[in-house]
Amino acid sequence: MSQKLISDTALVKQYMAGENNALSELISRHRDKVYTSIYMFVKEDALAEDIFQDTFIKVIDTLRKGKYYEDGKFLPWVMRIAYNLCIDHYRKVKRTPNFANSEDFDIFNVLKYNEDNAEEKMIKNQTYAKVRALIDELPAEQKEVVILRHYAEMSFKEISKLTDVSINTALGRMRYALINMRKLIVDNAIPVR
């Protein structure tokens, strides 16, 4: 049976039983979502690669030790690991005193937005670059929920648990994020399909 038709849960079980190819399929399925989410948080290519790597090393170690208990929820589990690694990084470099729960909406503005050549290779068109900039313009809490819901595909309920807010707060932040994006689209005349 093609591994592409097998569920995440089944692939995890196969991997824990010693089938290395199962991991290849698992990571291939979710790598773009995980990597995009990490990159949107840290905005640095090399750092995103490091955190992505560390994330899956933790995933492998946990699976190998037989300590995986998230039946049916592989991607949200991986995203929680990635999210916590992003927070750990910021705490380590002391770029910010707090992450999303801070009232300081400019939390990501303390980082340099580095648009150098290594990143430009990934940028295919002007709309792509503007969308990334749009997301960066959002307040920290809104940006966080956009990344977790849209790119990491966590449910609003999972996001509310992870960020320690009510589900209505998570929904409200997403709502304002999409509304603010619309305003930015109009202000910057970004073409929408």
Residues engaged in binding other proteins (CB under 8 A) = 18, 20, 23-24, 27, 31-32, 35-36, 39-40, 48-49, 52-53, 56-57, 60-61, 64, 122, 127-128, 131-132, 134-135, 146, 149-151, 155-156, 168, 171-172, 174-175, 177-179, 181-182, 185, 190, 192-193
Q: Are 48 and 39 in contact (CB under 8 A)?
A: yes
Using CA atoms, how far residue 54 sits from 62, 82, 95, 144, in Å, is 12, 8, 20, 20
Nearer to other proteins, 71 or 104 (CB): 71
Q: Are 37 and 148 in contact (CB under 8 A)?
A: yes
Q: Residue 40: is it exposed, middle or buried by C-beta count within 10 angstroms (0-12/13-18/19+)?
A: buried
Residue 67 Cβ, how far from other proteins at the closest point, in Å? 14
Nearer to other proteins, 9 or 24 (CB): 24
Residue 105 Cβ, how far from other proteins at the closest point, in Å? 19
Residue 97 Cβ, how far from other proteins at the closest point, in Å? 28
Residue 68 Cβ, how far from other proteins at the closest point, in Å? 14
Q: Residue 140: is it exposed, middle or buried by C-beta count within 10 angstroms (0-12/13-18/19+)?
A: buried
Nearer to other proteins, 107 or 170 (CB): 170
How far apart are alpha carbons 45 and 130 in whole angstroms?
A: 17
Residue 88 Cβ, how far from other proteins at the closest point, in Å? 19
